[in-house]
Structure 1
Amino acid sequence: MPILAPPAVGGWLMGSATLVLAIIVVGGVTRLTESGLSITEWKPITGVVPPITREEWEAEFAKYKETPEFKLLNHSITVEEFKSIFFWEWGHRVLGRLIGVAFVGPLAYFALRKKIDGRMTRRLFGLGLLIGAQGALGWYMVKSGLDNKHLEIPGSVPRVSQYRLAAHLGTAFLLYLGMFGTGLSIIKDWKYAKGAAWSGSTTGDISKILQNPVVKRIKVASWALMGLVFVTAMSGAFVAGLDAGLLYNEFPLMGGRLAPPSDELFDPAYAKNADKSDLWWRNIFENPTTVQFDHRVLAITTYLGTTALWLRTLNPAVRAALPPLATTAIRAAFTMANIQVLLGISTLLYLVPIPLAAAHQAGSVMLLSAMTHVLISLRRPGGAARLWRRFNATQATVKKTQP
């Protein structure tokens, strides 16, 4: 019989995903409080211990004084004020190290004890490598904000590259989805192997359900919507990186109209090539006005797509074709989409207050989680789970026939 990962593996992965969610939120607060450039060195081992004595704090503060952010923006802060921004960044980094330890240690244990098969081991080992890459990518991002070129460019604001920020956040999202999706699948496979109904369906013919054209269309739409949610979240990273949320703090209009003027959306000042061939893409990724407009369009499209998917489940024929859990999961995704829209609009109208902005970033993860649940509810159980279910059913039958 093949190895079937026990619920403990699924629970560990769900716990690890929760830690990744926590670091995403803490990372958002770190950015919102402008604390990300307070630590000027990357020390994966010794960096766990923060400054303790007054002399150590003065030494750390002296390093910060050499940064463009201090020279251009924070030249009047005291060492006590520096401590408040330092600890946000320090906490973010320490939480990243904690995730690494909490993931790698149990992974080695489960692999050595043969609780997971070779394929699962390789998959989870890849997530472990992604954790290490995420740390390196985070430092690569921070370095962009410490570059002294900010001192040479008139009007430059010391901040990390929005491209690197989006890559860092996107990698965190992928890491979370890898842990959450795998953990949830393991838990559901175990229950199915023990005789539980698949996605709440009372019929045992899973293949017939999944081959239904209605179910196929819902699954394709769910995958497309999942991709749209991810792209929308990434566009939010560009909004954050450029502080674009501080522009046009009204909704649904922007400056009294549905869209800003075209010469503002595609400002020639952002083009760097002499022939202006980079005008479009640079405005899309570097012009705060265009970045906010794009995020609005993507967010509205995502909401309409989620609404359309939910409305489809109200059709009696569609509801009869879908497994019950899939209908419930789609309803949950629609509910989360409503919450996320309200958080996004509130964040914009109230000029990006830290609690609302952090909740909005967490909401994007929750919406991705909800869509992942939809896809898993339409997923065929793993091969090991199907074999163990047959084996357990046979064993139960044998016991009943024995005198």
Structure 2
Amino acid sequence: MRDRGFFPGPAFVQGPAFLPDRAVRAWIWTLVGFVLAMVTVGGATRLTGSGLSITEWAPVTGAIPPLSEAAWLAEFERYRQIDQYRLLNQGMSLAEFQVIYWWEWGHRQLGRALGFVFFLPLIWFWLRSRITTGFALTLIAIGALGGMQAFVGWIMVASGLEEGMIAVAPIKLMTHLMLASIILVALTWIATGLRSGRVEPTPRAVALGAYGLVGVILFQTALGALVAGSRAGWTYNTWPLMDGVFIPSMAVLFPLSPWYANIFDTVATIQFNHRMVAYLLVGYALWHAWRVGRLAPGTVHLRHARIMAGLVLAQVVLGIVTLLLAVPLWAGLAHQVFAMLLLAMAVVHARIARDAAPARRRVDTGQPLPVGGAQISP
């Protein structure tokens, strides 16, 4: 196996001797599953109002929950000192506190477990030369993003512990979720690139269109995080109109100065932006499926594009239902989890289309390599 450098690329060789390591591929897909689980539990933690139940960040000792009644009472007393308790949960019983505590504790333990599942196999595979140095360094960079994401998670929690706050700051929640989304994109890209087998060739324009789909989904995910952080889903619970109009007045959308402050701080603007980009995403996904049908008819790429269009439509319908029902736990959580699955599927589509574009496939002779073959790096 050759070392292709720091960043993953479509390195191909011919012959079955170079098939990708099944254990490595299974490990990367396991990491993808862990990230999806982290986002799921994190979403449930947010929707149940559990994120501020643990008021300290103890990376090592925090893995041990309260083990006695005295320890539980001490933990509960710390929670009773913050404004979320005084302004929102006054009179909460110890049993009710334990429910929200376990959600936050579980989220943090899952993050710790992800760290072990990430780094221990990485070291083992690297020492046994089952991955290249370039591959390992790429994964270490992703791991560093994971560490940053955990740190931002604590900064996010700390923002909710400030005086007068009963929830985390929306922009910090958005940063936290977007780092998780970028990690999901990177791992899914690598895992998909480790496949073996053949796919039909396709023009590079198909891959470019798939990249655009990933980009719009990421942008919509960021807007969705602002909706969640500002609780904008609990207002304007009608569709397709907002307070009786399709486009609210400028006075409603831009009451703050400077104007860009409204993007992060005005509930009406936050929800309106999320709605409009949802329409854009539907239009783009349908256009992409139509264009792939013209450029690569009868291929797996067309099937993927059509599946993506259907999934986007389903996600928008789920979002509308969530809004009309004023964000019940099951709907809000399903909407967030489905968004992550949609993003992962878009990355799979983009990676396969990119690897099937003949203009991207070169070997040392400088000649195009037939579609398929076995990949030796992600």
Q: TM-score range by the shorter chain?
A: 0.7 to 0.9
User: Highest CA radius of gyration, 1 or 2?
Assistant: 1
Does the Cα contact within 8 Å between 1:333 and 1:367 map onto a contact in 2?
A: yes
Does the Cα contact within 8 Å between 2:207 and 2:354 map onto a contact in 1?
A: no
The correspondence for 2:180, drawn from 157, 162, 172, is 172
1:136-147 aligned at under 5 Å gives the runs 136-147=151-162
Change (3 A) 1:359 1:386: farther
What letter corresponds to residue 353 of structure 2 in structure 1? L
1:102 corresponds to 2:134: no
Q: Deviations over 1:56-113 (max 9, x none)?
A: 0000001001111111111210111100111110011000001000110001011111
1:14 corresponds to 2:14: no
1:52 corresponds to 2:27: no
Aligned to 2:234: 246
Q: Deviations over 1:127-171 (max 9, x none)?
A: 1112211111100100000012x1xxxxxx521111110000000
1:342 corresponds to 2:350: no
Question: In the aligned structure 2, how far is the partner of 1:119 from the partner of 1:386?
Answer: 19
Aligned to 1:398: none
Q: 1:260 is paired with a residue of what secondary structure?
A: coil
Q: 2:24 is paired with a residue of what secondary structure?
A: helix
1:380-399 aligned at under 5 Å gives the runs 380=355
Aligned to 2:216: 228
Does the Cα contact within 8 Å between 1:229 and 1:368 map onto a contact in 2?
A: yes
Q: Deviations over 1:288-329 (max 9, x none)?
A: 1100000000111011100111122344xx234x8x221121
1:256 corresponds to 2:244: yes
Question: In the aligned structure 2, how far is the partner of 1:380 from the partner of 1:221?
Answer: 14
Aligned to 2:326: 351
Q: 2:49 is paired with a residue of what secondary structure?
A: coil
Does the Cα contact within 8 Å between 2:206 and 2:292 map onto a contact in 1?
A: no
Q: 2:283 is paired with a residue of what secondary structure?
A: helix
What letter corresponds to residue 189 of structure 2 in structure 1? G
Aligned to 1:158: 166
Q: How much does 1:374 deviate?
A: 1.6
Change (3 A) 1:106 1:351: same
The correspondence for 2:138, drawn from 123, 127, 141, is 123
1:24 corresponds to 2:36: no
Does the Cα contact within 8 Å between 1:236 and 1:295 map onto a contact in 2?
A: yes
Does the Cα contact within 8 Å between 1:249 and 1:348 map onto a contact in 2?
A: yes
Question: In the aligned structure 1, how far is the partner of 2:180 from the partner of 2:135?
Answer: 20
Question: In the aligned structure 1, how far is the partner of 2:327 from the partner of 2:23?
Answer: 40
1:368 corresponds to 2:368: no
Question: In the aligned structure 2, how far is the partner of 1:113 from the partner of 1:130?
Answer: 25
Q: Deviations over 1:158-210 (max 9, x none)?
A: 21111110000000011111111101111x2xx2xxxx32x2x2xxxxxxx45
Does the Cα contact within 8 Å between 1:325 and 1:377 map onto a contact in 2?
A: no
Over 3 Å off, 4+ runs: 381-387
Aligned to 1:63: 78
Higher relative contact order (CA 8 A, sep 6+): 2
- TM-score w.r.t. length of structure 2: 0.88
Which ranges in structure 1 are unaligned for 5 or more consecutive residues?
151-156, 202-208, 272-277, 394-403
Does the Cα contact within 8 Å between 1:249 and 1:351 map onto a contact in 2?
A: yes
Does the Cα contact within 8 Å between 1:336 and 1:370 map onto a contact in 2?
A: no
Q: How much does 1:385 deviate?
A: 9.8
Q: 1:304 is paired with a residue of what secondary structure?
A: helix
- TM-score w.r.t. length of structure 1: 0.83
1:171-190 aligned at under 5 Å gives the runs 171-186=179-194, 188=195
Q: 2:296 is paired with a residue of what secondary structure?
A: helix
The correspondence for 1:309, drawn from 285, 288, 294, is 288
Which ranges in structure 2 are unaligned for 5 or more consecutive residues?
4-17, 374-378
Q: 1:378 is paired with a residue of what secondary structure?
A: helix
Question: In the aligned structure 1, how far is the partner of 2:363 from the partner of 2:30?
Answer: 22
Q: How much does 1:123 deviate?
A: 0.3
Aligned to 1:327: 302
> RMSD in angstroms over aligned alpha carbons?
2.1
Aligned to 2:264: 285
Q: 1:380 is paired with a residue of what secondary structure?
A: helix
Question: In the aligned structure 1, how far is the partner of 2:363 from the partner of 2:39?
Answer: 33
Q: 2:193 is paired with a residue of what secondary structure?
A: helix
Question: In the aligned structure 1, how far is the partner of 2:134 from the partner of 2:309?
Answer: 34
Does the Cα contact within 8 Å between 2:192 and 2:352 map onto a contact in 1?
A: no
User: In proportion to residue count, which structure has more helix?
Assistant: 1
